[in-house]
Amino acid sequence: MTEAQQPVIVLVCPQLGENIGKAARAMLNFGLTEMRLVAPRDGWPNPSAGPAASGADIVLERAQVFESTADAVADCAHVYATTVRKRGVTKPVMTPEAAAREVPTQPGRSAFLFGPERSGLETDDVALARTIVTAPINPQFGSLNLAQAVILIAYELSKHADLAMPTQEELLPPAPQKELEGLVEQLEGMLEPRGYFFPESRAEATRRNLRGLLTKPGWNHLEVRTLRGVLSSLQRPDRPAD
């Protein structure tokens, strides 16, 4: 999905700069960069938005301000209103997952509307949308804050974007079998003179269980080296007390 095809996130009459910043942070985490603001209560730019965005400055810098919701979505062919209730407007209702699946298959731009923190979208704003998006939520407590609502939609949209999973380069590969054999032999050599493999009739099974225990975790070579260092330390004679 190119940047020009990305869905637009529209915050209608957002009240707090901190919440705009948090919404920007949620967007950028999942690859969305186009935010549109409709009549933000405290004006724009808002000095409280930057710190709350935690580095998502590109979203705030590109944010566009509109006087009305209609103006904000004028170039969008598909408008989704995120709301817990239908608010008296009869329209198709989708889950965030279903809406996210639909977006990449449609020509033209898509926009997701999010209402003010205290009241949510007004009926007139919902009327502009072609579809209502509602998440399955606890009927006794349907209270998502603005950033939570944005991140829920952004996450579902990210499943259909070309985002990579976080790298795991810091994870070392499992140690080679040769190093594990060295660990097993070292521990067996320490246990043998202490009668650990007694009685003789059970010695083979005991060695097999010990080997299974030591090879099961999938340690990397640094972990094996550390454990062997511990064993070597235990093998040394006790130091005389000062």
pLDDT value of position 217: 75
Domain spans in the chain, listed from the N-terminal domain onward? 3-158, 177-235
User: What is the C-alpha separation between 109 and 1, in angstroms, rounded?
Assistant: 11
pLDDT value of position 218: 80
- Minimal CA–CA distance to 32: which of 102, 100, 118? 100
pLDDT value of position 88: 61
pLDDT value of position 233: 87
pLDDT value of position 194: 87
Could you give the C-alpha distances from 2 to 6, 33, 124, 161, 163, in angstroms and in order?
6, 11, 31, 9, 12
**What are the pLDDT digits (tens) for 29-75?**
999 999 999 999 999 999 999 999 999 999 999 999 999 999 999 99
User: What is the C-alpha separation between 101 and 104, in angstroms, rounded?
Assistant: 7
pTM over 0.85: no
3-state class (DSSP) for residue 93 = strand
Residue 184 exposed, middle or buried by CB count within 10 Å (0-12, 13-18, 19+) = middle
Question: Phi/psi of residue 80, each to 5°?
Answer: -115, 130
Q: List alpha helices for the chain, DSSP H.
A: 17-29, 49-53, 57-62, 69-72, 96-102, 123-128, 146-158, 177-191, 200-215, 221-235
Could you give the C-alpha distances from 21 to 15, 51, 52, in angstroms and in order?
12, 7, 5
Q: Residue ranges of the chain with pLDDT lower than 70?
A: 1-4, 85-89, 163-170, 239-242
- Find the distance separating the first CA and the last CA of the chain, reported in whole Å: 70
3-state helix, strand, coil split of the chain in percent (to 5) is 45, 10, 45
Superfamily name and number for 3-158:
SPOUT methyltransferase, trefoil knot domain (3.40.1280.10)
pLDDT value of position 144: 83
CB count in 10 Å sphere of residue 141: 7
Type of residue numbered 87: R
Q: For 8-21, give the DSSP string.
A: EEEEES---HHHHH
pLDDT value of position 136: 84
User: What is the C-alpha separation between 30 and 27, in angstroms, rounded?
Assistant: 6
Q: Are 95 and 135 spatial neighbours (Cβ–Cβ below 8 Å)?
A: yes
